[in-house]
Amino acid sequence: MNQDIIIPSHIAIIMDGNGRWAKSRNFSRIAGHKAGVKTTRKIMEACIKLKVKYLTLYTFSTENWQRPIEEVDNLMTLMRYYLKNEANSLHKNNIKVEVIGNIKKLDEDLQQNIHDLMELTKNNDQMHLVLAVSYSSREEIVESAKKIAQDYKDGKVDINDITTKVFSDYLYTKDIPDPDLLIRTSGELRISNFLIWQMAYTEFYFTKTLWPDFTKKDLNLAIEEFNKRERRYGQ
């Protein structure tokens, strides 16, 4: 990649297409998700080398709970395996892991795995990996509004002090900068209830490539496209 290329500080990815990838090969859907995990590992490694500071991955949405029970169970099993088996590697590579979303919907052992991983990596600073799990942006915004309303009721905040910055501090992503670049794979052209508030000025990049087929080359193409954009923030 050209040395003059600006690397986005924060990249968010909607990792879409595992099921279609599997179907096109007459594989089970879980085989597609396993292939997707392998891609996730490769892209994480590529982002580390590029010195991306924040990488946010849309791992499991609240809408995904509506999928067939067998598929959800398989996804939870895969998540358990990943959290346990990748924990030492993530820590060794100095990656800080944070999970955003309503994780109370997860089984208690999985919640504990998440807390253990965040605790293990909390002081790391090579890259900040944010996993959106059981995540809904609309739910996040509603819950933030409820917290502000409660703090107003308790006299902790004055209504005239509520600004966009103050509101942002009530979101899951407090202290995490907004994404510079969103990548969505599989050809879908929507954000699917993902970081609605945070992506007000994010640059979007859509590719027809299915997530298991997404490579470092594809990542570089997205970053090169990002560099062609003029970010004026409405000015």
What is the layout of strands, in order, in the sheet containing 54-61?
95-100, 127-135, 54-61, 10-14, 181-184, 203-206
- Helix, strand, coil percentages (3-state) for the chain, rounded to 5, are 50, 15, 35
Count other C-beta atoms under 10 Å from residue 59's C-beta.
21
Report pLDDT digits (tens) over 6-62. 999 999 999 999 999 999 999 999 999 999 999 999 999 999 999 999 999 999 999
Domain presence at residue 35 = yes
Report pLDDT digits (tens) over 171-229. 999 999 999 999 999 999 999 999 999 999 999 999 999 999 999 999 999 999 999 98
pLDDT band at 147; cut points 50, 70, 90: very high
- pLDDT beyond 70 at 1: no
Number of domains in the chain: 1
Domain presence at residue 83 = yes
Distance CA 55, CA 181 (A): 10
Task: Write out the catalytic residue numbers.
Answer: 16, 64
Q: The pTM is what?
A: 0.95
CA dihedral 42, 35, 184, 144 (to 10 degrees): -90
Residues with Cβ within 8 Å of residue 164, at least 6 apart in sequence: none
- Tell me, what CATH number does 62's domain have? 3.40.1180.10
Give me the pLDDT at residue 226, please.
97
Domain presence at residue 76 = yes
Domain presence at residue 130 = yes
Domain presence at residue 164 = no
Domain presence at residue 217 = yes
Query: Do the Cβ atoms of 195 and 135 come closer than 8 Å?
Result: no
- pLDDT beyond 80 at 232: no
Domain presence at residue 231 = no
pLDDT band at 138; cut points 50, 70, 90: very high
Domain presence at residue 167 = no
pLDDT, the chain, mean: 95
Domain encompassing residue 108: 10-136+178-226
Give me the pLDDT at residue 235, please.
67
